[in-house]
Amino acid sequence: MTKTNATLSEKNGPECHVGRRSFMQIAGGMSAAALMSTFAASATQAGSGTTGKYTLQRNGVPVDVSSLKTLAFAGFAHATYFQVRNSQVRGIDLHLKRLREASMKMFGASLPDEQIQNYMRAAIEAGPPDLSLMATVFSPTGEFTVGGANDTPEILVGTVGPSSGPSGPLSLAIVEYERDLPEVKHVGEVGKTYYMRQAVAQGFDDAAFMDRHGRLSEGTIWNLAFWDGEAVIWPKAAMLLGTSMSIVRRQLDRLGIPQRTQEVTLEDLPKMSGAVVMNSWTPGIPVNRIGSVAIPEAPKFLELLHQAFKEETPTSL
């Protein structure tokens, strides 16, 4: 996939209920760069990679800032985020699968699932029962180098406070943009933050991406989902398959709720009965406008997505 010239829709949507400034702070706080900055600040204050409440660990060992030089300006890494509640996680199999497949694609090698799970468990046990966790897998040789067969990836696991995201509804500007390696949740993606901020400056809450074929794909840090009044519609385009999205899809299948994947263009939007965004924070935040198109409220749709997510049994690591 290649990037195309990006243009924002000229028409502005209504302000988000949480406010544009607060939403930017929330959304930016979940980006890899922002979380790394938060973790590094906590490590500096504590001197050992832990605040006594939240932690930052490299390969299971608390770190100080000096050990993060390889990652300081690095973008050749990938990650997964999730919410921990009562020391339990939903869809851990999906997170491990994401890290394993991305490592093989980027590094040609991956850490064993059990090893990664042990590192995550250590970070969770070091903190309170409710928190946000980010696991970043990276090459110890850094960027702009040719990795060899012995370039085994390493992992940085950090925790911060829990989050459930903004309440919405959100208005999304339309941006013509395609992510590199869209199937990988890689870090260092300047486009996602840049276009979100551009959207907010124009009166929207965030941005939705449209590919060169005119198909809506995903949001900056979100997956998109639509409702036609009877079935859940997932956009057909190159995108990151989110873990919350995957949880909801398999539980909708189990519940017998109709769902389908299809191309969604701007011309299709007026036909939709509802729309949401979802990510590791939440299985659904309502969207009331995409570009110049108003989207109806769909409380039944929202309730259905949250119900499906809750059907996924949380587990301890």
Domain assignment of residue 1, yes or no: no
Query: Which range marks the domain in which residue 87 is found?
Result: 31-160
Is there a domain that residue 284 lies in?
yes
Angle at 261 between CA 258 and CA 267, to 5 degrees: 110
CA atoms of 266 and 301, how far apart (whole Å): 21
14 part of a folded domain: no
Residue environment code for 286-307, b if the CB has 16+ CB neighbours within 10 A, otherwise e: bbbbbbebebeebeebbebbbe
Residue 145 belongs to some domain of the structure: yes
First to last CA, the chain: 36
- Amino acid at the residue 291: G
Clarify whether residues 198 and 92 are in a common domain: no
Of the three residues 160, 195, 229, the one that is the final residue of a domain is 160
- CATH number reported for the structural domain that contains residue 226 in this entry: 3.20.10.10
Query: Which pLDDT value is given to residue 53?
Result: 82
Select from 129, 144, 160 the last residue of a domain.
Answer: 160
Residue that finishes a domain, picked among 143, 160, 177: 160
Residue 218 Cα to chain centre, angstroms: 11
Please tell me whether residues 100 and 175 are part of one structural domain: no
Within 13 A of 245's CA, how many CA atoms are on the CB side? 23
The residue behind tokens 């935040």 is: 285
Kindly report, residue by residue over 84-102, the tens digit of the pLDDT. Answer: 999 999 999 999 999 999 9
- Tell me, yes or no, whether 229 and 97 share the same domain: no
* Residues 177 and 303 both lie in one domain: yes
Does the residue 2 lie in any domain?
A: no
Length of the chain: 317
Q: Is residue 91 part of a domain?
A: yes
Domain count, the chain: 2
* 57 lies in the same domain as 152: yes
Residues 147 and 196 in one domain: no
Which segments of the chain have a pLDDT < 70? 1-52, 65-67, 69-74, 147-150
Burial (CB < 10 A; 0-12, 13-18, 19+), residue 191, is: middle
Beta carbons within 8 Å of 121's beta carbon, 6+ residues apart: 317
Q: What is the pLDDT of residue 140?
A: 81
> Looking at the structure, do residues 36 and 90 belong to the same domain, yes or no?
yes
On whether the CB atoms of residues 16 and 166 are closer than 8 A, the answer is yes
- The reply to whether 211 and 283 lie within a common domain is yes
Confirm whether 215 is domain-assigned.
yes
* Residue 6 maps to a domain: no
Minimal CA–CA distance to 229: which of 274, 293, 290? 274
Please indicate, yes or no, whether residues 153 and 199 belong to a single structural domain of this protein: no
Beta-bridge mates of residue 85:
88
Q: What is the pLDDT of residues 114-154, one digit of tens each?
A: 999 999 999 999 999 999 999 999 888 777 777 655 678 99
Q: What is the CATH number of the domain that holds 155?
A: 3.30.470.10
Q: Are residues 185 and 302 in the same domain?
A: yes
Please tell me whether residues 219 and 290 are part of one structural domain.
yes
Instruction: Please tell me whether residues 47 and 97 are part of one structural domain.
Output: yes
pTM of the model: 0.82
Two tokens, residue 144:
């702009």
Q: Residue type for 101, please?
A: E
